[in-house]
Structure 1
Amino acid sequence: MQGSNPLATVSEKKLLKQFAIPSIIAMLVSSLYNIVDQFFIGRSVGGLGNAATNIVFPLTISCVACALLFGIGGASAFNLSLGEGDNEHAKYYIGNSATMMIICGLILMFISQIFMVPMLKFFGSPDSVLKYAIIYTRITSIGFPFLILSAGGGHLVRADGSPKMTMIINMTGAIINTILDALFVFGFHWGMAGAASATVIGQIISCAIVIVYFKNFKTTTLSKKVFIPHAHYIEKVVSLGAAPCFNQFAMMLVQIIMNKSLKYYGQHSVYGEEIPITCVGLITKVSQVFFSFIIGISQGLQPIASFNYGAKNYSRVKRAYLLAIKYGAVISIFSFAMFQIFPRQIIALFDNGTASELYFKFSTNYFRIFLFFICICFMQPISSNFFTAIGKPKKGIVLSLTRQILFLLPLILILPLFFGIDGIMYAGPIADFTAALACTIMIIYELRKEEFKNH
C-alpha cells in the first residue's frame, strides 16, 4: 500500500498542485453560495436583505463546523490508517463520518425550525431585518443535512484520491444555485425565498453526487456495516477534526458578538445600526474568496501530510508544508493589494443604487483597516490543519482558537469602549498579527523536533 500509493512517491510539488488546485476551485465555488445570494438579494431586495443573510450566517457556520469535524477528521484518520497499512479499519472512518454528518444536519435543522425567532434575535437581528431573516432561514435550514454531507463528504472523497471529484461536487451545486438564483429572484421575483430555495436545491444535488461516489469508492469498498456508528472510530475522527471545527464555532461566536456590537455601537454613531451590519456581512463573505485559496491549499496538504507522516516519511511532510506556506504567502500579498486599492469598487457590485455615501465610507474604511494584516493570514489556517493532518489535534485546536477566541473576541469587546464602532475595525489587524506570531513560534518549535530536524 505504501510503496504503490502515489502519495509516497510523486514529488511534493506535483502532489500539492494536484490536490490543492481542485480544492481551491471547490472552495471558491462553494463560497459562491453566499456571494451569489448577496449579489441577487442586494440587487433585488436591497440592504435589508443582505443584512438578513449576515444575521443568518452563524447557522451556516454551524453546518460548516460539523462538516469539517467529520470531513477533515474522517479524511485524516482514513489517510493516517492507509499510511500505516491498516486498510481494513480505514474504511470505518469514512462510513462513521458520513453517518454522523447526516445526524448533525438533522439535529441542526430541527433546532433551527423550532427556535428560529429567538435565535435570530440572539444573533443580533434588528426588527427591520427580522422578517427577511425568518424567510431565508425557514427554507435554508431544510438543506442543512444536505449541506453538511456535501461539504464534509467532499473531504472524504478527496482523501480517497479524487480531488477533481470534490471539485465537481462543489461546482455542480454552486452552478445550479447561480442559475436558479437568477431565475427565482430576477425571473419569478421571489426575493429572499427564491435565493434560499436556489441554495437548498444546489445542496441537494451536490449531496446526491457524494452518495453515488460512496458506492464506487476507489481505495476500499464501503459496505453497509461501516456506516453503523462505533464509539472507537467516532472518537478518533472527532479528535482529528476538532481543530477546524472549533475554529468555525469560534467564528460563529465572534460573528454573533460582532453583530451585537455593530448594532449597539452603530446606533450610537452616524451610521445607524443597519449600515455596519450590512457592510460587515458583505466584506466577511468577500474575504472568504481569499480564504478559499488558503483553505484549499491547506486541504490539498492534508492527504500528503497524513499519509507520509503515518508512513514515517518525515522529509516529504516537511517539504509539502513549506511549499503550502510559500503559495499561501503569495496569494495573501495579492489579496492585501486588492482590498487596499479597490474596496469601494468591490462593495459597489452588491448595491442596487440605493446605498448612501455613509454606507460606502464605512465599508471602505472597514475593508482597509480590519483586513490590513490579511497579508499574513495564511499562516494560521495552513498550520492548524497541518497539525491535524499529522495526528496532533491538540496543537491544531490551540492554533485554531488563537485568532478568534484568544485575540479577536476580547478586542471586539474592549476596543469599542474607547474608540466606539471604529474599535471593531482596529480589532481585526491586531488579532491577525498576534495570531500569526503565535503560529510562527509553534510551527518553528515543531519543525525543530528530531523527526523533522534530521530531514
Structure 2
Amino acid sequence: MNKKIINQKFYKYVIPSMITMLLSGFYSIIDGLFVANAVNDSALAAINIAYPIQVILNATAIGIGIGGAVSYSYYNGQNKTKQMHKTIGVTCSLLLISGIILPIVLNYFVNNLLVFLGAKGNIYNGAYEYIHVILIGGILPIIGNGINPLLRNQGKTIYATISMSSGLIVNIILDYLFVYKMQLGLHGAALATIIAQGVVAFSGTMMLIYFKLKELSLIDYIPNLITTKKILTIGISPFGQTLIPCIITVITNWMCIRYGGDNALTIFSIISYVLSSIQLFLQGIGDGIQPLLSYYHGCKQPQLIKYIYKKAITLSLAISTTLTILVIIFPNILTSLFNVDNIIYHECRNALIITALSFPFIGNNRLSCALFYATERTLFSSIIVYLEPCVIIPSCLIYFSNIFKLTGIWLAYPIAQVILTIIALYFIYFILFKAKNVNVTVDTEYSI
C-alpha cells in the first residue's frame, strides 16, 4: 500500500468536495441574509418554512447522482467499461425524468404542503411567493446537483467546484440586484436562486458531455431494471441525508411555534442556516472519500478502506471541534448577520452555543453513512439516516421540551447526535475492524 499516493488522492477528492458541499448550502443562506436585511423577520421565517419543499428537489438529485456515482466507481474498480457507461447514461436519464415530473407534482400540492409545514398568515404568503418560483424552474437544481457527483467520481473534482462556485457568484450578484436594488423581495430572492442553479446545471452538463457523455451510445441512456435498481438502492441513503435535516426542521418548527411562537421560529431559522452549512461542509468529507471507498470496495481491498476512513474521521473531528469552539466563542458574529431585534438576538446566541455541541457528532454520523453506502451496506446507512427523524429526534424534542421548554428544543439536537454516533460506531466495528484483507492487486494511483 503506497500511503503517499493514497494521501494525495484523499486530499484531491476531499478538499474540493467540502468546498462544493459548503457552496451548495450557501444558496438558501444567501437568500436568507439578503431577505433578513432588506425585507423583515417574517420573510426569513417564510424561506425557512418553504425550504423543505426546495430540499426535496435537491435530495432527489443528490440521491440519484450519488447512487450513479458510487455504482460507476465500483465498476471502475472492476474495469467494467460497459457497465460504467450504462450507469452514467441511466443516471442522466433518471435526473431528466425526475426533473420534469417532480416539480409539477410538488407545485400541484404546494398549498397543502405549506399548511402542513406550519405556514399561516404573512408567513404563508411569503413562503408561497418564494417556493412557487423555485418549482417553476425545478428541473435546474435537479440537473445541477445530480451531475456534480458524476463529475467528482470521474476525478473532475476541481471542475465540479468551479461549476458550483460560478452559480454561487451569480446568486449573490442577482440577490443584490433583485432584493436590494429592485426591491423584489422573496420573489427576487427565489428568482436569483433558480437562475444561479441554471448556471450550475448548464456548466455541469457541458463538462460532463466533454469528459464522458461523448463516449456513450444512445442505448446507454435507456433505463433498465438492474441498473436503475442499483442506482436507487444506493441513492436512498444520500437522498435521506439531504432530506432528513428538513424533516427535522419541520418537526422542530412545530415545537418552536408551540413553545415560542414566531420569535422562536425566526431563531430556529437562523440556527437552521448555520446547521445546514456545517452539515454539508462535513458531509463533503464523506462525499470526497466516497469515490475512493467505492473503487477499493470494487477491488476488494478492505484494509485500504479502513485506512481512508480513519484518515477521514481524524480530519472530520479536527474540523468539527474547531467549528464548535469558534461558535461558542463568537456566537454574536453569526447572530448579528441576520439583523434581528434584541430579544431574538440574545435567545439566538444561547441557542447557537447549545447547538454547536453537536458538530463533532454530526461529522461522525455523516462520514459513517458515506462509508456504508459507498461499500454497498445500504441497510446500515438507511438505519442511521431514517432512525434520526422517525424515532430519535421526535423523542428528544418531546422529552426535553417538556422539561426545559424552548431551551429543551435546542438541547434535543446534540443529544440525538450522540445517540446516533453510538449506533453508527457499533455498525462500523463490524464493517472495518472485523474485515479481513483480500489479496488483490490494485493500482493505488487510481485514475478516474
TM-score normalised by structure 1 residue count:
0.92
Separation of aligned partners in 1, 2:94 and 2:104: 16
User: Is the contact between residue 244 and residue 397 of structure 1 (CA under 8 Å) also seen in structure 2?
Assistant: no
1:57 is aligned to 2:57: no
Q: Amino acid of the residue matched to residue 237 of structure 1? A: I
Relative to structure 1, the CA distance from residue 134 to residue 8 in structure 2 (aligned partners, 3 Å threshold; closer, same or farther) is farther
Relative to structure 1, the CA distance from residue 409 to residue 454 in structure 2 (aligned partners, 3 Å threshold; closer, same or farther) is farther
Percent pairwise identity: 26
User: What does the per-residue CA deviation read over 1:8-48, in whole Å, with 9 as the maximum and x for residues that have no partner?
Assistant: 99722111110111111111221220111111101111111
1:323 is aligned to 2:311: yes
Q: Greater shift after overlay, 273-282 or 414-423?
A: 414-423
1:212 is aligned to 2:235: no
Separation of aligned partners in 1, 2:394 and 2:439: 39
User: What does the per-residue CA deviation read over 1:315-342, in whole Å, with 9 as the maximum and x for residues that have no partner?
Assistant: 2221111111111011110111122122
1:201 is aligned to 2:199: no
Within a 5 Å distance, the mapping from 1:85-104 to structure 2 comes to 85-104=79-98
User: Is the contact between residue 302 and residue 432 of structure 2 (CA under 8 Å) also seen in structure 1?
Assistant: no
Within a 5 Å distance, the mapping from 1:127-166 to structure 2 comes to 127-166=121-160
User: Deviation at 1:453?
Assistant: 9.8
User: Is the contact between residue 147 and residue 204 of structure 2 (CA under 8 Å) also seen in structure 1?
Assistant: yes
Separation of aligned partners in 1, 2:282 and 2:437: 24
Relative to structure 1, the CA distance from residue 450 to residue 25 in structure 2 (aligned partners, 3 Å threshold; closer, same or farther) is closer
Q: Greater shift after overlay, 232-241 or 369-378?
A: 369-378
User: Is the contact between residue 54 and residue 134 of structure 2 (CA under 8 Å) also seen in structure 1?
Assistant: no
User: Deviation at 1:417?
Assistant: 3.0
Separation of aligned partners in 1, 2:118 and 2:70: 36
Separation of aligned partners in 2, 1:244 and 1:205: 23
Within a 5 Å distance, the mapping from 1:163-202 to structure 2 comes to 163-202=157-196
User: Deviation at 1:247?
Assistant: 2.8
Which residue matches 1:425? Answer: 410
Relative to structure 1, the CA distance from residue 220 to residue 367 in structure 2 (aligned partners, 3 Å threshold; closer, same or farther) is same
Q: 1:350 aligns with which of 338, 346, 365?
A: 338
Which residue matches 1:292? Answer: 280
User: What does the per-residue CA deviation read over 1:195-246, in whole Å, with 9 as the maximum and x for residues that have no partner?
Assistant: 1111010111111112212322349812332222212111001111111212
Task: Indicate the SS of the match to 1:216.
Answer: helix
Relative to structure 1, the CA distance from residue 216 to residue 275 in structure 2 (aligned partners, 3 Å threshold; closer, same or farther) is same
Q: Amino acid of the residue matched to residue 385 of structure 1? A: A
Q: Amino acid of the residue matched to residue 417 of structure 1? A: N
User: Is the contact between residue 105 and residue 148 of structure 1 (CA under 8 Å) also seen in structure 2?
Assistant: yes
Q: Greater shift after overlay, 130-139 or 287-296?
A: 287-296
User: What does the per-residue CA deviation read over 1:41-76, in whole Å, with 9 as the maximum and x for residues that have no partner?
Assistant: 011111111101100111122122212211111000
User: Deviation at 1:110?
Assistant: 1.3
Structure 2 unmatched runs, 5+ = 441-448
User: Is the contact between residue 364 and residue 421 of structure 2 (CA under 8 Å) also seen in structure 1?
Assistant: yes
Structure 1 unmatched runs, 5+ = 1-6, 267-272
User: What does the per-residue CA deviation read over 1:269-293, in whole Å, with 9 as the maximum and x for residues that have no partner?
Assistant: xxxx211111212211122332233
Separation of aligned partners in 2, 1:98 and 1:282: 35
Separation of aligned partners in 1, 2:104 and 2:387: 32
Task: Indicate the SS of the match to 2:83.
Answer: helix
Which residue matches 1:279? Answer: 267
1:382 is aligned to 2:376: no
Q: CA RMSD in A?
A: 2.1
Separation of aligned partners in 1, 2:435 and 2:358: 33
Which residue matches 2:13? Answer: 19
User: What does the per-residue CA deviation read over 1:162-183, in whole Å, with 9 as the maximum and x for residues that have no partner?
Assistant: 1111101111111111111111
Relative to structure 1, the CA distance from residue 217 to residue 9 in structure 2 (aligned partners, 3 Å threshold; closer, same or farther) is farther
Q: 2:33 aligns with which of 39, 46, 55?
A: 39
User: Is the contact between residue 160 and residue 219 of structure 1 (CA under 8 Å) also seen in structure 2?
Assistant: no
Separation of aligned partners in 2, 1:107 and 1:219: 23
User: Deviation at 1:452?
Assistant: 5.0
TM-score normalised by structure 2 residue count:
0.93
User: Is the contact between residue 447 and residue 453 of structure 1 (CA under 8 Å) also seen in structure 2?
Assistant: no
Within a 5 Å distance, the mapping from 1:208-287 to structure 2 comes to 208-218=202-212, 221-266=215-260, 273-287=261-275
1:398 is aligned to 2:383: yes
Separation of aligned partners in 2, 1:384 and 1:46: 38
Separation of aligned partners in 1, 2:408 and 2:121: 25
Aligned length: 440
User: Deviation at 1:450?
Assistant: 3.5
Q: Amino acid of the residue matched to residue 197 of structure 2? A: Q
